[in-house]
Amino acid sequence: MDRRQFLKLGVTGGALLTMSAWMSKGTFWGTGTHLARRGNYQYQFLTEADHEVVSALIPAILAGTAAARDKELAEEVVRGVDIAASHFRPAIQKEIRQLFTVLTLPATRVLACGVWSGWSQADPARVEGFLASWRNSRMALLRSGYDALQQLTVASWYGNPKSWSGLGYEGPPPLANA
C-alpha cells in the first residue's frame, strides 16, 4: 500500500466513523431508532433498524443452517445478538452502535454496503456480495465490521441449544450433585 492509498483509507475510515458517531448521538433522522420489540421480548440494544439488518444478514452468514430457513429460529438469533450486545462493556457497545449506524443510514448503507433498498427488501445475493466485499476489503475498518457481524451472528446461533442437534451435539453433560 503506497502513501496515497494509506491516506485515502484513513480519510475514508475517519469520515465514516465521524459521520456514524455524529448521527448516533440523537441527531439521527428517519425511522427505526427506538428499541425493537417482538412479542414479549423487549430488546435492550438493537433498534428496529438494527433488527432489520441482522435479520437480512442471517441467511447469508448462516447459510445451510435451520436458522437461515426458519423465521422463528432467525428471530432467536437476532435476540441472541441483542443479549450479547447488551452485556458488552460500554466502549464495545459504542463501537457496535457506530457499526449499526453505518449499516442503517440510507446514505452510508448505499456507499459502504452497496445496498440500495432497505435491509428488509435487500436481495440475498446483494447481501452476500456486501459481506464478501467487507470480508476481503483492503480497509481494516471494514474487515473488522465484517468480523463483528459474523462473530455475533454465528455465536448467537451456535450458542442456542436448538442448533446443537444439527451438529450431533447432545449438549453439555449434566452437573453431578455435590
Specify the 3-state DSSP secondary structure of 137. coil
Closest-CA residue to 1 (of 142, 139, 134, 146)? 139
Give CA–CA dist 77/159, Å, rounded. Answer: 9
Give CA–CA dist 69/151, Å, rounded. Answer: 19
Please state whether the predicted TM-score (pTM) of the whole model is above 0.85.
no
CA angle 20, 81, 64 (to 5 degrees): 110
**Mean pLDDT estimate for the chain:** 88
Specify the 3-state DSSP secondary structure of 165. helix
Alpha-helix residue ranges (DSSP H) falling in 23-89: 48-61, 66-69, 71-86
pLDDT at 29: 45
Cα→Cα distances 74→16, 37, 135, Å: 29, 15, 22
Do 127 and 115 contact (CB within 8 A), yes or no? yes
The mean-pLDDT minimum among 1-5, 100-104, 126-130 falls in 1-5
For residue 96, pLDDT over 50 is answered with: yes
